[in-house]
Structures are given as C-alpha cells and as structure tokens.
Amino acid sequence: MSILLTTSQGVATAPSTQVSGASKPVGRVAAAVEHCGNVATQLSPPQNTDEYRSPFQRVGAFRGERPNLAQALVKAPEKVGCVPSDEMVLLSGQAKPASASPISIQTLFALQQTRVDTAALVLGQLGKDPTALKHISEQLQASCLKDDRAATKAELKAAKCLDKDIIELVASHLQRPGITSKAVMREAMAAILSARQALINGNVWNKVETSFEHNNQRYACTMIPAAQMKLGDKDIFPVSYRGHGVSSSSTREIAHATNLWTSEIRAQGHNGQELTLFKGVRHGTLSPYGLEKADEQRHAGAQNRAREVVAAALFARPELLRLALAGDVVPLQLVSTSLLTGGFGGEGDMLNDQIGAWKALCQARPLVLSLMGGDGKQHTVRVNLEVAAFNFGVNEFALKFHFGHTQADCHNTIALHQLLGEDLRRSVSPGGWVGEYLNRDPKPANAKRVELLSDQLKAVWAAKAHNRDGKEPYKAAQRAAMLAFEIGAVPCWNCKSGKDRTGMLDVELKREAVALHQNRGLIAPGSRLTKDQQRLLQQALLHGGNSEVQAYNTGAPGNKVMKDVPAFGLSYRSRVGDDEVWNKAQGLSRLV
C-alpha cells in the first residue's frame, strides 16, 4: 500500500506497509492510514474482500461489525508532512507533556500516538510487523506540529473507541487453538498495559516549571521528579532513575517510589529574592500492591519506596542534606498525609503496607541510607527519622459512603498526638512537635499561623468533619500538611497513584499558601470560597503544574477527581465555580 501525503513542497510517498498475519493490508489499520490526518491518499484496492477483512472481526467475541480504527483517530489538519523515519518516534520523547490545552486537539493527538505506539511495541514483541502502526504514529506526530484548536465532542467520543480497537488488534495476533476469546482478550490487555507502562517509564521526566498571577503578584511553581533530584550529574538515589520516571502504573515496582516529586510555590519578595511559600514531597502509595499480600517482596518494596521518600525529603531540605552528607546524624520529621480510602479497591491493604513501612524505618535509630553526593560517589547518611502518619479519605466512597474511617482514624489519633500532643482540646495549648516548635520562640507571624492551623485541625477532628465533604473535601489533609511546613517538618502526601487526589491536595496547598502571602488569612474549615478565592483556586488548578505531572504518568493531562457523580458527587464543581476551568482541569482523564 502506498500513501500520498500532501506537504508544503508537493507530494511525498510513504513506503508500502503490511501487518504480519494478514495477506493484505489490515482493513482498519489501512483505513486509519488512509484517513488519519485528513490527508490525500491513494490505496491499492483489495484483490479479495475476505482477505482484506480486519483482524478485529476474526476475534471470537468481536465478530460483529464495528467502526474502523480510523474513526477512533481524530482527523489532523490538512497539509500534514510525513516524518522521514523508519523507526517509530515517540512524541512524548520530543515535547513537554501538556504543552497544549488539556482538551486541545494536540493533546488528543499525543494521547492517541501513545496508544498507537503501545500497540506497535506489543506487535513487535510478538514478532509481528508493526510497520502500519508506526506510520500512523508518524502521521499523528506530524499532526502535532500543526496549529492547535479545541477538540470537539465528536472527536473525544471517537477517541474512546481507540483503546478497544487496539486491544482487539493485539488479541487477533494472540488467538490460537484451545484458548477462549475471553482469555485472549485478557492476555491482550495485560500485554498492552505492560507495554504502555514501559513506554511511559522510558520517557525522560523533566522538571516542571509553571507560574500564574493573582492580584498582580506572580507566583512560580516547581515540581522536580525523582530523576532530576541531583546534586551533580546523577540523581541522589543509590539505584539511579537514569533520567526516566516510575509512573503510577508501576504497581509491582520494589526498587523505586512511584510518581515521586518535590513540589513548591514561591513569590517575589520585597528585596527581589524569591520567598518559598510552601514546599513538600508528593508520591504514589508506598505499597507495591500489584504483588500478592503475602509476598515478602511487597513489604520489602514498601520500605524501599519509603526510603526514597525520605531521601526526597532530605533533598527538599538542602541544609539537612549537606549536614547528612558531611557525616552528621540529622533529625528529620515527616508528616505523611495519605488520601487512601480503606475498605475500597484494596486501599486499606495499601494503607497497612504504608504504615508498616514507616514504622519499620522509624524503628531504626538512626536510619541508614545510601545517597549519591555531588562528587558522584555513594555516601552513607544517618537520619533520626520521625513520621506522623495520617490518612484522610477524600473521595466519594470516603465522604459519602463513609468507607475506611475506622481504620484511618486509628492511625490519625496516633499522628495527632505526635503533632499536637496528648490533649487535643482546643482550649489547651498545642503539645507534641508543634508545642516544641512554639517553645523555640518563632517569629510572631509564624507562631500565629501555627496556632491557628493547630486550632483548625483540632476543630475538624473534634467535629469529625474530615469524614464528610462539608464544602471542602481536603480540609484536614491540607491543614496537616501546611502545619508541617510551618513548623519545619517536611510534608509528604500521597494517594494510590500520586496524581489525582494528590494533585488536588497540591492545588489546595498552593491556594492557601498564596492567600496567606496576600494577607487574606486562613479561611475557616468548610467555608464557601469567595469569588476572589475561587479565582485563586482556578489559577492554581490550571497553572500549578499538576496537568504536566498527570501527562507524564498517563500520556495526557487531566484530573480524575473532576467528575460528576449524580446524587453522590462531592462539592468540587461548586468550589471551582467555573465550568470552563472544571472541563480544562478534567482534561482527558476519562480516556486514560
């Protein structure tokens, strides 16, 4: 099959393509090449319509007529040039994730290219010829170089079909005697998920720099992935990331933490220097939950992940890291705020793994870690680690159906006593870490914030307000993390993946940090946001760096928290207060 591509110079001819396993070019793939990009094409007509039939129709459970693969690929702009390469080139390896609008046609092209690249990788691993898919990928890549526009509803709807079509394509090459169609589809899905994870983790993960303005003040946000946590040319971890990522889909990973980043927001100070308003560490669950519960590797992996979070916390505190590398035993307090929902989707077991990992690390006095120094050599560092480990469920199952509160609050009670002392009455001055901090005579403004945050967290706990939406799903988690930062501890927060619920807490933390910087004061828990506060939330939501983190993990930006659940939904749509912002933040999350 030859393809004629309209270019600015004239007509270019792409090489003939054929997928192994079909005697003629595959029907849906051929049609996709013909129509992808809305380009002029010239295809040789099939000699035999039976031979030209799509392999999708030969999979037992999928013999019915369905739209072809081309209909699942959005149409690209006219005058698309072909990328001259015999090898598949990944867009994600050349461009920054989420550089376009979260619901732009360019973003949709990028996601579709990732899907096609995944199928091509699987076919290659099966010993089949992925050439046709590679050329679709090249056309999608070329399309991404053209002008951007908003994706239409029809294009988004059509794109949903692509995953199913790709699964069927892979399944057609796995079909063999004695294996049911259902089993083949499971094999195909497993192969695709594995290949997708390999592609995403194989990308270079770079620092994310974003900024926004609120009330004529500019704020800079920086997210640093584990691969870029460097003192010299190498990252600080004993098992190097080599510039790549470990995405949220790495459920069996035991050497590295998943989706590990530092996150900070800064403002321009009066003297021209930047002022850090908030800084912490975000990550996925410490549990390698893809392994069996009884597997010793699961527990060892959770501890390895926890060690990397500790290393990232030291990286977030350069003064402590310097002392540790110089040989000092350094104290390190972490406030871990997990957002899992016990009793649902295995998240209760994940929480147990995470709490167990923190306990194991804290029992070592000191905890001994290996880190790479700026000299390129491995150093042994010693840390007296203390962790106050919270868990506040923040999704619909936790706040509407009340899953997981008993399990979580057992841990929360212990963590609150560490942070605020044994007596949690609001009339009693804070004890614990907060009391120790206040006894060191901090600056009056800081002491006032610490006292107010402590009082608010006590009030939330006393009213059990963290167990319901109350117009602010993240009320307890946000205040625990902010209180940690204010007293010099390192806030760490996570959900299962480290991108959706974790991302929303990141947004709320940045919103409150900016509000404090602008002397707006801490709002009372559960208060309805004013118009100005909503505008600030919208800025942090769209420009705080979370869309980029989501794209690194899935191939497309978009937060799954942004969903409408009739009768049982949370208050986030009204809290955001703008449907356009809501839709942009939702992005392509429904497709990943």
> What whole-number distance in Å separates Cα of residue 116 and Cα of residue 277?
42
- pTM of structure: 0.84
Q: pLDDT at position 557, please?
A: 95
Q: pLDDT at position 145, please?
A: 65
Read off the tokens for 131: 């050439």
> What whole-number distance in Å separates Cα of residue 207 and Cα of residue 156?
29
Q: Could you identify the residue written with the tokens 């063999």?
A: 176
Q: pLDDT at position 243, please?
A: 98
Q: Which residue among the candidates 36, 221, 492, 495 is catalytic per the annotation?
A: 495
Task: Tell whether omega for the bond before 318 is within 30 degrees of 0, i.e. cis.
Answer: no
Q: pLDDT at position 153, please?
A: 84
**Mean pLDDT, the chain cut into blocks of 10 residues (592 residues total):** 27 31 32 30 31 27 36 41 31 39 80 92 92 83 77 84 88 94 95 96 98 96 99 97 98 98 93 93 99 97 99 98 98 99 94 99 98 96 99 97 97 99 98 98 96 98 98 98 99 99 99 96 92 98 98 96 90 95 93 90
Active site residue 82: no
Q: Could you identify the residue written with the tokens 């739209």?
A: 67
Q: pLDDT at position 102, please?
A: 55
Task: Choose the CATH number for 3-202 among 3.40.50.720, 3.30.479.10, 3.40.1010.10, 1.20.58.450.
Answer: 1.20.58.450
> What whole-number distance in Å separates Cα of residue 221 and Cα of residue 278?
10
Q: pLDDT at position 565, please?
A: 87
In this structure, are residues 148 and 55 in contact, taking their beta carbons and an 8 Å threshold? Answer: no
Given 3-state DSSP classes, what are the helix, strand and coil percentages for the chain, each rounded to the nearest 5?
45, 15, 40
Residue range 108-142, pLDDT digits in tens: 988 998 999 999 999 999 999 988 888 888 887 77
Q: What residues pair up with 383 in beta bridges, in sequence order? A: 330, 367
Q: pLDDT at position 143, please?
A: 74
The residues, any chain, with a CB within 8 Å of residue 59's CB and separated by 6 or more, are 168, 171, 172, 175, 181, 184, 185
Residue range 372-408, pLDDT digits in tens: 999 999 999 999 999 999 999 999 999 999 999 999 9
Show me where the domains of the chain are located. 3-202, 208-591
